[in-house]
Structure 1
Amino acid sequence: MTAKRSVSLPDDIAEYLDQQGNFSAAIADAVRFQMAAGHLEDVLRRVGIEVTDEGKSRWRSRLSRPISAEALAEGRRILDEAA
């Protein structure tokens, strides 16, 4: 089942959606992603990990930079050892 909604969007988002083959699907995916992110925070809190705005900002900054070849090699080495 589906429900129709009318929304007003900033120009940059409207332009992005205009380029999508199915903008209803693009919006649904984005909302589901946001819903899952909230669920993830709840799960982390239940296991004792406190999610803060400062921590999220720090991780966004860290993850916005490309991963170095050395870090990738180290990650592969750790995974190989665990296997």
Structure 2
Amino acid sequence: MTVKRSVSLPDDVAEWLDQQPNVSAAITAAVRAQMAAAHLQEVLRRAGIEVTEAGRARWRERLATPIPADALAEGRRMLGRAG
């Protein structure tokens, strides 16, 4: 079953959606990603792990750092051996 909704969006979001071949699919994917993140946060909270904005910022910084070429090559080598 599907339900039709009417929403108000910022101009930049509306412009991006206007460029998508399937607006409903784009919105559904974005909302489902948000739902998954909220679910993960709830699971972590129930396990006694409180995720803070400072912790998120540290992970964003870590993820923004490129993986060293030698570590990436070693990971690929290990994956090739596992297959």
Aligned to 2:11: 11
The one-letter amino acid paired with 1:54 is A
Report the RMSD for the aligned CA atoms in angstroms: 2.6
Q: Which runs of 5+ in 1 are unaligned?
A: none
Taking structure 1 as reference, are residues 68 and 12 closer, same or farther at Cα in structure 2, changes over 3 Å only? farther
Q: TM-score, with normalisation over the residues of structure 1?
A: 0.77
Instruction: Map residues 4-83 of structure 1 onto 2, 5 A cutoff.
Output: 4-76=4-76
Partner Cα distance (1:15, 1:66) in 2: 31
Cα separation, 1, equivalents of 2:68 and 2:22? 35
User: Matched residues in 1 for 2:28 and 2:15: separation?
Assistant: 17
Q: Would the alpha carbon gap of residues 28 and 58 (structure 1) be closer, same or farther in structure 2, given more than 3 Å must change?
A: same
Change beyond 3 A, Cα 1:81–1:45: farther
Q: Output the CA distance in 2 between the equivalents of 1:48 and 1:81.
A: 37
Deviations 1:59-78 (A, max 9, x none): 12322343331332354567
Tell me how far apart the structure 1 counterparts of residues 39 and 21 of structure 2 sit (CA, whole Å).
Answer: 28
Name the SS of the counterpart of 1:5 in structure 2.
coil
Q: Percent identity?
A: 70
Structure 1's 43 and 13: CA in aligned 2 closer, same or farther, altered over 3 A?
same
Look up the SS of the partner of 1:63 in the other structure. Answer: helix
Shift of the 20–40 alpha-carbon distance from structure 1 to 2, 3 Å rule, reads same
